[in-house]
Amino acid sequence: TFNLSLKRLSLTGYGEEGLEFPMTNNGHTVQITLPHTMYITDSKGNRYISEQLHFHWGGGPSGVSGSEHTVDGIRRVMEIHFVHFSDKFGSFEEAQSQPEGLAVVAVFVEIEEYNENTYYSAFVSELVNITYPGQTTTLKDTTIQKMLPRDTYNYYTYEGSLTTPPCTENVKWFVFQDSVKLSKTQVERIENAIKNAHNETLHDGYRKTQPLNHRVVEVNFPFADKLGPSYLYLKKIDQKLDNLLHYAGPKKIKKRKHSNRNW
C-alpha cells in the first residue's frame, strides 16, 4: 500500500567518520556493535537508537540465497539488519520485550560480478580475525552510512517480529527498496568466513519467509500506474539531490560553472 505521508528516514550519526566498532563472531553471524550516538527518526517523529548490525547469508549446498525478506517472491543473496531500540526506553535489553520497542532497518545485498565495493573492504578483511565463535576484532576505516544503499529514500515498512529468538512481535521494520552491491568474491568470502560452535562453516543463517498474517506492508514510493508523471519526475529529482548529499557527507558541495552533468 502506497502511503504518501511516509517520509524519508532521518539517519543521524551514520555518516560520522573515524569511529571504531567492535566486530564479533557470535556463533550465528557477524555482529558489529554500533554507538548510541547513531539513531533514526521515522515520519511520526519516533526516534530509535542504534544497537548493532548483523548479516544473514546463504552459501550452503542448496545454493539458496540468504535474505530473510523477499520481494515478489525473489530472495536476495544476503541481508543486513541495523537494529535499533526506542528512545522511550533506557536500553536495548529493556526495549526488546516492550510494545513498539524496536526498529530494524533491513538492507538487501546483490552481486555485481567483478565490481568490488571498497566501502566493505575493511569489513571483509577483518573476517579472518573472527573465524571462531567468541572472537572479537575492531572494525576501522569504515563509515556506516557508506554501508547503506545509494538510495535510502524508498522503503517498505510493516509491524513485525524479530527473526531470531525470542522472535518478539514488537519490531517496526524498514526495508530499503535499493540494495547494496558487492562483488561475487566479496560475497563468497563473507559466506565462508566464520565457523559455528561445531567448527562448521556457518551457512544458511536466515529464517524462512513467514506469512503476513493480515499485516499491511506500506511503501513510500509510488507505483507508476497510480500517479501522474509530474509527481514521479519531481520525486526523482528529490531523490537524486538526497543521494548527492548522502555521498558528499559533511563536506560542502561546490557548484561548477557550465556543468553539463545530466540529471
Rounded Cα–Cα distance for residues 194 and 119 (Å): 20
Residues 137, 52, 69, 11: is their CA dihedral positive or negative?
Answer: negative
Q: Are 178 and 150 in contact (CB under 8 A)?
A: yes
Q: Are 39 and 48 in contact (CB under 8 A)?
A: yes
Beta bridge partners of 160: 171
Cell numbers that stand for 92 in this block? 536495548
Sequence-ordered alpha helix ranges (H) in the chain: 92-95, 121-126, 184-191, 229-248
Count the neighbouring beta carbons within 10 Å of the beta carbon of residue 138.
Answer: 10
How many Å separate Cα 192 from the centre of its chain?
21
Q: Are 168 and 108 in contact (CB under 8 A)?
A: no
Which amino acid, residue 148? L
Q: Is 28 a catalytic residue?
A: yes
Rounded Cα–Cα distance for residues 15 and 143 (Å): 6
Of the listed 28, 203, 214, 246, which one is catalytic? 28
Active site residues: 28
